[in-house]
């Protein structure tokens, strides 16, 4: 029997088939390389962070595929002191999906060692930055509630995500200096999400939004304690109406609890929208209070080199040409940088203590993780009247 051996057949140019179609993983009656949605904003990407509990350094990184845009990219964002450094990598995605299993962009790659538990991140030296880090989950992953946002009749975000808390081991190299990463000190959180969200070049606006977008209030706090982890997600509209509420505790033995409707008190540095900490009061299924006192040790604006939320320098999914790399460095105190911090989401090294009858034997325990917050535009419960209103000076 003769088999097709032409380049056209091998590359699937006639039918869209690729190596993934050899596996029983199909969800639709079409090749795996074809996204289930024709929406240009379809994406599938991972996010990971790492820190050593000191607040001296915060590493944020990730890799994404955008099949309907034909692109893939990765980024590394590193804050030390008042300096924030970004490395960006971008390339064309294989139209057959052959690079979905071998997740790699330039010298950056993600290796799945044990699904939902252990992954390895490698960045061959690129623009002075390199890393070889292995993640190990401390708890099972948390499947978060679906996240949907609409503007009028249109859908701007429709995504699924899972999150995990864990530890890191390996080496991070910055301009020739090696930083040892050990699991007794280095912790973090990670997530993978997929679906639809704004990516790539800006699409034509069409009719102006009616009503106009006035802002949103967002809180995402995955925390790791010795006995359990907690993943909290809260999103509110400008009038304080809660459109997303997801609060989950996972114990080491795999038990999962929902922790009700968190009450949140946010504390901002006067004259800014940069939070210094928060008190989050959760409720166990038995009706017991579990109180989390969270403080920021180091903030990293994701829209300053990270590609999120209106970053003028880097947009996930945007075509930058084949084999693209660059490094950008920011002075966080520079007026042109500091002036835009309030218009995006900020990730913080988060230190937490847990109290209350719902904490049980963990009462008073210390935990670590991500403290992510953005108060964009108007938010009545916070007293922010518009996009430019700031936290008042403490009396």
Report whether pLDDT(82) > 70. Answer: yes
Structural domain count, the chain: 1
pLDDT per position as a tens digit, 160-186: 999 999 999 999 999 999 999 999 999
Q: 347 in a domain, yes or no? A: yes
Q: What is the pTM of this model?
A: 0.94
Q: 25 in a domain, yes or no? A: no
Q: 11 in a domain, yes or no? A: no
Q: 111 in a domain, yes or no? A: yes
Average pLDDT over residues 299-305: 97
Average pLDDT over residues 366-395: 92
pLDDT per position as a tens digit, 146-164: 999 988 888 899 999 999 9
Report whether pLDDT(5) > 60. Answer: no
Q: 100 in a domain, yes or no? A: yes
Report whether pLDDT(302) > 90. Answer: yes
Report whether pLDDT(13) > 60. Answer: no
Q: 388 in a domain, yes or no? A: no
Q: 374 in a domain, yes or no? A: yes
Q: How confident is the model at residue 395 (pLDDT cuts 50, 70, 90)?
A: very low
Report whether pLDDT(306) > 80. Answer: yes
- pLDDT number for residue 151: 84
Q: What is the CATH number of the domain that holds 85?
A: 2.40.370.10
- 3-state secondary structure labels for all residues of the chain: CCCCCCHHHHCCCCCCCCHHHHCCCCCCCCCCCCCCCCCCCEEEEEEEEEECCCCCEEEEEEEEEECCCCEEEEEEEEEECCEEEEEEEEEECCCCCCCCCCEEECCEEEEEEECCCEEEEEEEEECCEEEEEEEEECCCCEECCCEEEEECCEEEEEEEEEEEEEEEEEEEEECCEEEEECCCCCEEEEEEEEEECCCCCCCCCCCCCCCCCCEEEEEEEEEECCCEEEEEEEEECCCCCEEEEEEEEEECCCCEEECCCCEEEEEECCCCCCEEEEEEEEECCCCCEEEEEEEEEEEEECCCCCCCCCCCCCCCCCCCCCCEEEEEEEECCCHHHHCCHHHCCEEEEEEEEEECHHHHHHCCCEEEEEEEEEEEECEHHHCECCCCCCCCCCC
Report whether pLDDT(14) > 60. Answer: no
Q: 46 in a domain, yes or no? A: yes
Structural domain containing residue 53:
41-200+213-382
pLDDT per position as a tens digit, 229-260: 999 999 999 999 999 999 999 998 889 999 99
């Amino acid at each position: 029997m003769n088999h097709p051996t032409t380049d056209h057949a091998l590359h699937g140019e006639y039918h869209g088939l690729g190596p993934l179609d050899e596996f029983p993983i199909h969800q639709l009656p079409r090749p795996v390389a074809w996204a289930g949605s024709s929406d240009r904003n379809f994406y599938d990407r991972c996010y990971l962070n790492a820190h050593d509990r000191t607040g001296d350094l915060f590493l944020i990184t990730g890799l994404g595929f955008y099949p309907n845009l034909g692109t893939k990219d990765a980024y590394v964002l590193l804050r030390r002191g008042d300096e924030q450094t970004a490395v960006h990598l971008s390339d064309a995605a294989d139209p057959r999906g052959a690079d979905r299993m071998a997740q790699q962009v330039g010298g950056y790659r993600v290796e799945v060692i044990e699904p939902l538990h252990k992954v390895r991140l490698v960045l061959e030296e690129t623009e002075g930055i390199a890393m070889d880090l292995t993640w190990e989950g401390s708890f099972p992953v948390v499947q978060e509630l679906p996240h949907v946002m609409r503007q009028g009749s249109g859908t701007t975000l429709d995504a699924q995500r899972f999150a995990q808390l864990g530890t890191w081991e390996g080496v991070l190299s910055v301009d020739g200096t090696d930083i040892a990463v050990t699991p007794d000190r280095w912790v973090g959180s990670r997530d993978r999400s997929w679906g639809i969200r704004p990516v790539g070049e800006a699409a034509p606006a069409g009719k102006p939004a009616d009503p106009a977008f006035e802002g949103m209030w967002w809180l995402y706090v995955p925390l790791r304690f010795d006995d359990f982890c907690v993943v909290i997600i809260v999103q509110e509209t400008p009038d304080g109406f809660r459109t997303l509420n997801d609060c989950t505790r996972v114990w080491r033995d795999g038990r999962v609890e929902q922790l009700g409707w968190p009450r949140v008190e946010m504390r901002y540095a006067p004259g800014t929208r940069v939070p210094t900490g928060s008190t989050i009061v959760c409720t166990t299924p038995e009706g017991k209070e579990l109180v989390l006192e969270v403080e920021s040790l180091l903030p990293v604006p994701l829209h300053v080199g990270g590609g999120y939320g209106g970053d003028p320098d880097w947009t996930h999914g945007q075509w930058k040409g084949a084999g693209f790399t660059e490094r950008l460095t920011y002075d966080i105190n520079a007026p042109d940088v500091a002036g835009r911090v309030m218009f995006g989401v900020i990730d913080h090294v988060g230190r937490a203590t847990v109290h209350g009858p719902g904490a049980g034997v963990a009462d008073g325990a210390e935990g670590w993780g991500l403290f992510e917050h953005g108060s964009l535009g108007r938010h009545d419960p916070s007293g922010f009247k518009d996009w430019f209103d700031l936290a008042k000076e403490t009396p």
